[in-house]
Amino acid sequence: MGTTVKLLIAVIKMAAKWGDRIIRLQEIVSKLTNNTYFPTGWTAGSLTQAQFGLDVTAFLTSVTNVKNRVAGAVGARNSAWTKIKADLMLILTMVQDKANANEGIAEAIIGSVGFFVRNNGGARKKQNGAHNTEVLGTITLTADGTGPHEWEMSKDMVTVINLPATTTAQTQVTGLNTGDVWYVRNRKVNSKKKTYNWCNWIMIKIGAGGKNLGGGGGGGTHSTAGDLPTA
């Protein structure tokens, strides 16, 4: 039976006061600009990065108009806030999907946009994966099973480097150069030295210490063949 890991769930956590909401939105806009995991020009469902910026600007203007007692400003502000909430839910889905697809760096992905993380009570089968660690040039490799595993890495998926076998479904590789792209894979070996098929190659770009720049993702399995205030 494969090991399981709890999913990390993205949470927005929006303040109740209008002024604090402005600060929070400005933070999210800033973090979604030149983001490592969501390149410039990102889209979240039907929402574009440019449109989100326009919607936030419209909301900021509406809050200012309320302070200046402009006629009809309260209704305009509430409508702008409704639009912002819809935008944030689209962004939340985009972030959650990316985090789910890259479990090894899910927390970094969620935090990169200014969202918060909570553990879900449910569990999910752990996948084959590779991700950067906070140690420069060190990556962690994981497998979808338990027990002894063999590991390989390659620059071109042709010339292969054999890594030390392990008695568990996880290992680390150190001394790698930042910016290099590697392919890694693993296969399960049982106690009787019965071997399984190699999983699919997993690509990872070596990150700079505490920032995960790439990686995550999975191959196939082994075989013998956020709440928002309403107003």
Q: What are 143's two structure tokens?
A: 């497998």
pLDDT of residue 191: 63
Mean pLDDT of 17-30: 93
Residue 209 has a pLDDT of: 45
E-only strand ranges, the chain: 4-11, 43-44, 47-48, 116-125, 129-132, 139-142, 149-154, 160-166, 170-173, 181-188, 202-205
**According to the model, what pLDDT value does residue 4 have?**
45
Q: What is the pLDDT of residues 145-157, one digit of tens each?
A: 788 889 999 999 9
Question: How far, in Å, CA of 127 to CA of 132, rounded?
Answer: 16
Give the start-to-end residue ranges of the domains of the chain.
4-117, 127-205
Distance between CA atoms of 118 and 129, rounded to whole angstroms?
21
- Which of 10-19, 46-55, 124-133, 219-228: highest mean pLDDT? 46-55
The answer to whether residue 210 scores a pLDDT higher than 60 is no
Q: What pLDDT, on a 0 to 100 scale, did the predictor assign at position 87?
A: 95
The domain made up of 127-205 has a fold known as Immunoglobulin-like (2.60.40)
Q: Is the pLDDT of residue 214 over 70?
A: no
Give the mean pLDDT of 59-79: 96
- The larger pLDDT score, comparing residue 215 to residue 87, is at 87
Distance CA 3, CA 144 (A): 7
CA distances from 127 to 155, 169, 189 (A): 22, 10, 17
User: Does the pLDDT of residue 6 top 70, yes or no?
Assistant: no
Q: What is the pLDDT of residues 90-134, one digit of tens each?
A: 999 999 988 888 877 888 899 999 999 876 555 455 668 888 876
